Chains A and B, each alone.
Chain A
Amino acid sequence: MVEYRIDRRSGVATYVQIVQQTKQALRLGLLEPGDKLPTAREVVEATAINPNTVLKAYRELEREGLVEARRGLGTFVRRSLGTAPAESPLHGELDVWAAKARAAGLDRDDVAALFTAVLEKHFADIPAQHSSDQHSQGDLS
């Protein structure tokens, strides 16, 4: 079960905060497929935010295929986030690459800059999901 912490001064729309915190819980494995999200009632009782804000966040998560609402039962996690777990071949390749970079005399900042540059090149069309989310304007409810 996740517990949401709402920061009203953050400038990030409340429903976006719920979406982000749910995704973070999915990435960290705090939520797994089959787990139930708290009901709207439980969330609003603890946070004093508007019920429609919670429903809006859950609809967004549902639209992204991360959760599903089962009528009368609640909202459940459908899939986890993070498709490259620690034991994957991708992790191994990156591990080998990092060792090579170090052996070649690169320091930590060099490696980070190189990695970021390549990351930018391949993911230029997909914005990072930071708090400067595209939804962040103006929703206060």
Chain B
Amino acid sequence: MTDTTGFALEAAAVGKRFGRRRGSGGWALRDCGFRLPAGRVCAVVGPNGAGKSTLLALAAGLLVPTEGRVTVLGTDPASARARVGFVAQDKPLYPHLTVAETLRMGADLNPRRWDAPTAERIVADGDLGPKTRIRALSGGQRTRVALALALAKRPELLLLDEPMADLDPLARHELMGVLMAQAAQYGTTIVMSSHVVAELEGSCDHLLLIGGGRVRLAGEIDELLEAHVRVSGLAQTSLAPHTVVESRTTGRQLSALIRPAGPLPEGLRTSAPSLEELVLSYLRNPQAPGTTPAEAASESEKATL
């Protein structure tokens, strides 16, 4: 979990274009670069339509990038497929099969990697009868079956697109516990998207913030939080030369979220931002300079040397 021998997922200048929509020029993702070390639990966060699902589908090998290269577990996404688990947002399952038949199909499709006890336990914990047909399940129950299929495959990389959206709070906590246990026991790298940051806080140690089809922030959550500080002081305080992500003046008071570039001016009160505050500040300010993919890449290069 802690020693990382390599990268589970890498993107180099990746772009994906759908058709030729006007306005955005059809680019769902553009110039996307990051590297995710193996063994991490990564949150992919961004507003609706930011490109999260496109990124996950590229990593799963279901889409081919228009430009750039995606590397999964050291190889191309198609070759890595047997070692990757993917749960799409709409949880595609066969509606006419029963729960038991669905699991049997999973076993047949993954003959050498299938962990039947895990699949059966996840399903049983949700009180799903093995003879129930998929079409009769609620959205949350379907999510449970889809996660059982993905986890029983014992993937090295698990890609989950909005996995918790349909779940009630109890099931969400329980299934997040199952995912974390998987990561603890097998060192599984998990990448999960959500537009609800609070849902991922505490469970993820790595962040990929996507906005407008680009990577805004990428890195260890601890390090990203440490690199930012919330400040407040008098309105005329100059924040140069620090990078200002967001600033607001109310009467005589200035409050801002900044990335300090050295010692801060006297008279500023400082506090540590929460992950949610950090993410929201970047999303509210699309022009705020993020940690560029190049910086992130050179940093991770330094880290691996």
Contact = CB atoms under 8 A, between A and B. Distances in A.
A51 B204 contact: no
Nearest to A47: B177
A51 B272 contact: no
B184 A51 contact: yes
Interface in B1-22: 1-2
A45 B118 CA distance: 13
B184 A48 contact: no
B233 to A, nearest CB: 19
Given A44-B181, A48-B180, A55-B1, A141 B205 contact: yes
B221 to A, nearest CB: 5
Contacts of B201: 8, 140
B66 interface: no
Interface in B265-305: 272-275
Interface in B194-251: 201-205, 221-222, 225-226
Contacts of B1: 40, 51-52, 55
Contacts of B176: 48
B205 A44 contact: no
Contact of B184 (A6, A8, A41, A141): A41
Contacts of A44: 177, 180-181, 183-184
B173 A48 contact: yes
B93 interface: no
Interface in B166-200: 173-174, 176-181, 183-185
B181 A45 contact: yes
A110 B178 CA distance: 53
A6 B183 contact: no
Contacts, number: 75
Contact of B275 (A49, A50, A52, A140): A140
A52 B222 CA distance: 12
A8 B202 contact: yes
Q: How large is the interface on A (under 10, 10 to 19, 20 to 34, 35 or more residues)?
A: 20 to 34
Nearest to A8: B202
B152 interface: no
User: Which of A6, A51, A55 has most chain B Cβ within 10 Å?
Assistant: A51
Contact of B202 (A39, A40, A41, A140): A140
Given A41-B184, A48-B177, A48-B202, A138 B2 contact: no
B29 to A, nearest CB: 26
Nearest to A51: B184
B271 to A, nearest CB: 8
Contacts of B41: 50-51
Interface in A91-141: 137-141
Interface in A40-82: 40-41, 44-55
Contacts of A53: 202, 205
Interface string B41-85: 100000000000000000000000000000000000000000000
Contact of B177 (A8, A46, A138): A46
Nearest to B39: A52
Contacts of B174: 48
Lowest 9 CB-CB distances: which A-B pairs, in order?
A: A44-B180, A48-B176, A51-B184, A138-B272, A45-B181, A137-B272, A141-B205, A138-B225, A41-B184
Given A14-B202, A140-B221, A141-B205, 6 more contacts: A40-B184, A45-B184, A48-B174, A50-B202, A139-B225, A140-B222
Interface of A: 6, 8, 14, 39-41, 44-55, 137-141
